[in-house]
Amino acid sequence: MKSLIFGIVCCLPILVIGQIKLINIDLTNPDTSLLYGRTENRLTLVGQNNWTGIRVTSSKKSQIDIQKNSFISILPAINEGVDTLRLFKGSKLLLSRGYRIVKLSDPIAQLAFTSDTIITKNRILANPFVTSKFPNSLYNNKIVVKSFECLVIKRNGEKKVFSATGNKLSEGMINAIKNLSSLDELVFDNIKAGISPVFRPKALPSFKVKIQ
């Protein structure tokens, strides 16, 4: 999916006067001509130290907010399409660049920095964190898990629920995991994440893993 996105956006038109570059610092590949729809995209200037008189226009009437000497916030008004951004210093055009706008996937949670559904105890104990990401996207903004619950289900039917504040497994969770056997399950639910500055805090989908 990432390579497909890159292949689509690399053919969009770019007009540059001088050595000015406009890069998207919220992408894993900042130079890609890509914006995520209805989401804040932070762009910054390369090759221009003096931001006095800088202004940006959008062919699709995207919301634009310039934080001087820091970044340019672009909030596309649409989820899909093409937007042309034009960068001016006063009345002089410095850059014109086409951007593909695509819809950003919903964030998901994962255990031990992997979306695998079968995980070894050693991996969990070495990486005792519940984290989140935007799957199949280049979006690189940080999502911080604030709290979650973990239901431990043993093959003999025994169940126990633990709660944690933050993104790290609680001491009770870790002790319970140490005593699990192959095919025992962990169900993570009531996952709350603080996603800033893109979204307000929101609940993430629950997920389940089995012990290998």
Share above pLDDT 70 across residues of the chain, in percent, rounded to a whole number: 89
Structure tokens at 105: 């996937």
Can you read off the two tokens belonging to residue 15? 């007009």
Q: What domains lie within the chain, and their CATH numbers?
A: 2-103 (2.60.40.1080), 108-211 (no CATH)
3-state secondary structure of 173: helix
Residue 43: strand pairing partners:
24, 72
Lowest mean pLDDT across 29-43, 150-164, 194-208? 194-208
Give the pLDDT band of residue 69 (cuts 50, 70, 90): confident
Tell me how far apart the alpha carbons of residues 164 and 76 are, in angstroms, rounded to a whole number: 36
Predicted local distance difference test score (pLDDT) of residue 25: 94
Would you say residue 6 has pLDDT above 60? no
Q: Where are the beta strands (DSSP E) in 76-141?
A: 81-89, 92-103, 108-111, 118-119, 130-133
pLDDT digits (tens, 9 = 90+) for 47-60: 888 899 999 999 99
Phi, psi values for residue 44, rounded to 5°: -135, 165
Chain mean pLDDT for the chain: 90
Give SS3 for 62: coil
- Cα angle 55, 66, 195 (rounded to 5 degrees) comes to 145
111-127 pLDDT per residue, tens: 999 999 999 999 999 99
Please say whether the dihedral angle defined by the alpha carbons of residues 5, 6, 12 and 16, taken in this order, is positive or negative: positive
What pLDDT was estimated at residue 149? Answer: 98
pLDDT of residue 23: 95
Q: Which residues contact 203 (CB under 8 A, 6 or more apart)?
A: 190, 191, 192, 193
Confidence band of 85 (pLDDT split at 50, 70, 90): very high
DSSP state of 114: B
Could you tell me the pTM of the whole model?
Answer: 0.79
| Average pLDDT, integer, range 7-33 | 78
Beta strand 71-75 pairing with 54-58: unpaired
On whether the CB atoms of residues 145 and 110 are closer than 8 A, the answer is no
Q: Please state, in angstroms and rounded to a whole number, the distance separating the CA atoms of residues 211 and 52.
A: 57
What's the confidence (pLDDT) of residue 15? 61
* CA 89 to chain centroid: 31
Confidence band of 13 (pLDDT split at 50, 70, 90): low
**pLDDT tens figures, 160-195:** 999 999 999 999 999 999 999 999 999 999 999 987
The answer to whether the CB of 144 falls within 8 A of the CB of 194 is yes
> Do residues 184 and 152 lie in contact, with contact meaning Cβ atoms separated by under 8 Å?
yes
